[in-house]
A and B are shown apart, each in its own frame.
Chain A
Amino acid sequence: MANQYYDQVSNPILKSSLAIWRNYPSLYRLVGSYCVQCQKSFYPKRLVCPFCHHRELLDKRFSGKGKIVNVEQNNIPQITVIGYRNLTARYMAIIQLIEGPFTIGELVDVGGIKPQAGMPVYSELRRLARDSNQTWQYGIKFIIRDVSNEA
């Protein structure tokens, strides 16, 4: 058992898998929303526009292209509690998507580059940590790559 789940950690998030399932579009495909009335875009998705308080918001899938606004390297062991024992240290960044909204995300495949504000990034679906029921969680992470000229 211990070998099978070598990366088992105490990650007692007492949350039903339904709560995660409901957010798959947002966590997996960068689906946010936009306001039909004032055309503002939001990520994560909103139910009410905070600008005009219109309630008709439609889903919008963002391109995944963006730039680093702020970045830090977290090597504090406490993050192992939430399932990242083998993944310290991690770069966590604030990303501004080219469509405007800001999101957060881990930078991966950084190699020898020192991540800095202004660098172009692109989102990818990656594995996160094991949930308390041992299933793997997945979600978006970002790689440093300029894809502004790619389709």
Chain B
Amino acid sequence: MNEKLPAIIGVGCTINPGEPHIDKGFKDLIVEASYAAIDNAHISPKQIDGAVFSYTGEGEVGYGGIAPTLVDALGLSPLPAFTDSANCASAHAAFMQGCDMVESGNYDTVLVAGFGKMTDVIPFENYMLLSSDSLFDYRLGYSHIDSFLLGTEYFAKHHINKDIQYQSLLAVAMSARNYGKYNPEAKYFDKISNYYDLKSLPALGCTLASGEGASAIILTKSVKARRKNKVVVHGRSWLSTSHYVGHRYSDQQIMNNQSKAVSDLAEGLPLKIACNRAYKQANLRPTDIDTVQVYDQLVNQFIALEATGICPIGTAPMFYINGEANVNGKCPVNTDGGNIGRGFASGAASLYGIIELYRQLTNTQQGLKIQNPVHHALSTFMGGYYADAGAVILSKMDGDD
């Protein structure tokens, strides 16, 4: 395996990203998560020679550059630090940049950290609901929620009958809450859910739990990572297309003629391309993936799961119904509870997924343990309903069991 590959050596996060934490500001959150990661990596803060931060824009209204504020709050000044923002996938964008920094050879140890802090800034709801072409469709009353609702055309496109729709959404909602029930960092930790309650919820409980939190990861070169439990970033890919949802229906306009089939909101074409590139980079196939993280909300977990190639087009609902996404299933999905069961703190959200995969790979999971051996794990995320899409493959180094 290439020794220049970035490796994860430490992870940390704040608990319960599915609720507001009104007693903590964004500095409190980012410091708590970052120092948890530094402690987990068993390094000195002085060893960090670069940082990337992600958020959704909510530091302060119109805040153009939050990196120095965070570097100072972390006591790491002076430090080369950068900021990434890509709607829900902001943290994945930061992770990509962190990997690039390590791979460039210019940095030895990089902190990647993101935060979501929605209750301090009044227009935050706008930040979330925008996630579209702000100059055009948002002005016409189109919000991010409309994208997810239009995405339910997935069921019609694949001729999935009402009964399967119903059962599969319930299976997703229950699976997320069950995973969350055993994860002390999750919104649903120690909470018992039942089908009776889920049936009375919007979308049968398949809506993300929006809240606040921060997550952090320490990256270094593979060759410098400690030998035992070494987890490398084996493959990764990032794609930005368009926020304007109309273009999703004429994919030749945004996908550079890569697909002859017309895309739509029922297909995660940008994520599919990102995953395929990551597989190629890692020389792996979808069947090699032992666990996966996808963006779960309404029907999107089906769309995303199919974009990863882990299950064929139109079969993801049955994948859930048959228990293949469970901890003892063929490919466990969102074992920390995901956006629904763990919680969703926008600017930090996708790093939570990468942290869970790292823990499963190193057998340090906080919640349920995947029963089959885990060697390769895939983290995917999208921002602005596939305006941005990212795929990250983590692998445990051979012979480290």
Contact = CB atoms under 8 A, between A and B. Distances in A.
Contacts of A139: 139-141
Given A12-B122, A82-B129, A104-B140, A19 B246 contact: no
Contacts of A104: 137, 140, 142, 146, 245-246
A40 B309 CA distance: 33
A19 B140 contact: no
Contacts of A103: 246
A72 interface: yes
Contacts of A73: 149
A14 B61 contact: yes
Contact of B149 (A26, A72, A137): A72
B249 A96 contact: yes
Q: Which 6 A-B pairs have CB atoms at the shortest separation, nearest pair first?
A: A102-B246, A72-B149, A102-B249, A12-B123, A81-B125, A92-B146
B246 A43 contact: yes
A41 to B, nearest CB: 11
A60 interface: no
Interface in B61-111: 61-62
Interface residues of A, number: 45
B167 interface: no
Contacts of B139: 20, 23, 27, 128, 137, 139
A14 B141 CA distance: 16
A134 interface: no
Contacts of A50: 253-254, 256
B264 interface: yes
Contacts of B136: 23, 26-27, 44
A45 B219 CA distance: 42
20 contacts: A12-B123, A14-B62, A23-B136, A23-B139, A27-B140, A43-B246, A50-B254, A51-B252, A70-B265, A72-B149, A74-B146, A82-B126, A92-B142, A92-B150, A96-B249, A102-B247, A103-B246, A104-B140, A104-B146, A139-B141
A79 B147 CA distance: 13
A105 B135 contact: no
B126 A70 contact: no
Given A81-B129, A104-B142, 7 more contacts: A13-B123, A78-B145, A82-B126, A96-B249, A128-B139, A129-B141, A139-B141
A128 B122 CA distance: 22
Interface string B298-328: 0000000000000000000000000000000
A61 to B, nearest CB: 16
B383 to A, nearest CB: 18
A124 B142 CA distance: 17
A77 to B, nearest CB: 10
A106 B140 contact: yes
Interface of B: 61-62, 122-123, 125-126, 129, 133, 135-143, 145-146, 149-150, 152-153, 202, 244-247, 249-250, 252-254, 256, 264-265
B141 A101 contact: no
A69 B249 contact: yes
A91 to B, nearest CB: 10
Contact of A94 (B61, B129, B246, B256): B246
Given A27-B140, A79-B145, A72 B62 contact: no
A44 B244 contact: yes
Contact of A14 (B123, B135, B250): B123
A76 to B, nearest CB: 5
B385 to A, nearest CB: 12
A86 B259 CA distance: 41
B141 A82 contact: yes
A42 B247 CA distance: 10
B45 to A, nearest CB: 36
A101 B249 CA distance: 9
B43 to A, nearest CB: 40
Contacts of A42: 253
Given A14-B123, A70-B150, A78-B125, A101 B143 contact: no
A90 interface: yes
B129 A78 contact: yes
B273 to A, nearest CB: 16
Given A12-B122, A44-B136, A79 B143 contact: yes
Contact of A90 (B141, B150, B247, B253): B141
A10 interface: yes
Given A70-B150, A104-B137, A82 B143 contact: yes
A106 B141 contact: yes
Interface in A123-137: 128-129, 137
B59 to A, nearest CB: 14
Nearest to A11: B126
Nearest to B256: A50
A27 B250 CA distance: 21
